[in-house]
Amino acid sequence: MEKLIAKYKGKGLRLTPQRLAILKFLEGNTRHPTAEDIFKEVKREYPTISFATVYNTLQTLKENGGVLEITIDPARKHYDPTTNPHHHIVCTGCNEIRDVFVNYSGILRLPSQILKEFQILGNHVDFYGLCKDCRKGQKGGGN
């Protein structure tokens, strides 16, 4: 996150307390929070913070490579401060999103027709599954 702070300063961006609080919450966070998650958490320290500030900051972070926008959940966007290439697995039971650190770029062959028409820039794999807790609930009948 230090790097990001340096990047912020280098671009004439300001490190306000609110922004720092958002950065601190995101740093090392692997829970893939939504804008609302971030808002609620930062609100505890800065009760007057507004949604607009959260969205503005996320926008700025996106533009500076500080967070990735995750679209695996059709209901809302999630944000991921882990910006080196990786993938995700989502539990279809509880919607928990977990990181998958594997590089599939070398093995994801594409049809020649596609390769003829597209210059490939990247890939992202979403896995769907049932986590341990949700399998438990399913079989044992526990709530």
Containing 55, the helix (H) or strand (E) segment is helix 51-63
Binding letters toward a copy of itself, positions 48-87, x by CB under 8 A = ---------------------x-xxxx--x----------
**Residue number, 45 or 99, with CB nearest to a copy of itself:** 99
Q: How far is residue 38's CA from residue 42's CA, in Å, rounded to a whole number? A: 6
Question: 4: closest CA among 86, 62, 54, 52?
Answer: 62
User: Residue 127, interface with a copy of itself (CB under 8 A)?
Assistant: yes
Containing 113, the helix (H) or strand (E) segment is helix 112-117
User: Closest distance between a copy of itself and the C-beta of residue 133, in Å?
Assistant: 9
**Piece of the chain touching a copy of itself by CB under 8 A; list 26-34, 37-45, 50-58, 101-109:** 101-109
User: Closest distance between a copy of itself and the C-beta of residue 91, in Å?
Assistant: 7
The two beta strands, 97-100 and 78-80, are unpaired
Interacting residue ranges for DNA, rule: CB under 7 A: 9, 12-19, 34-36, 46, 48-53, 55-60, 75-77
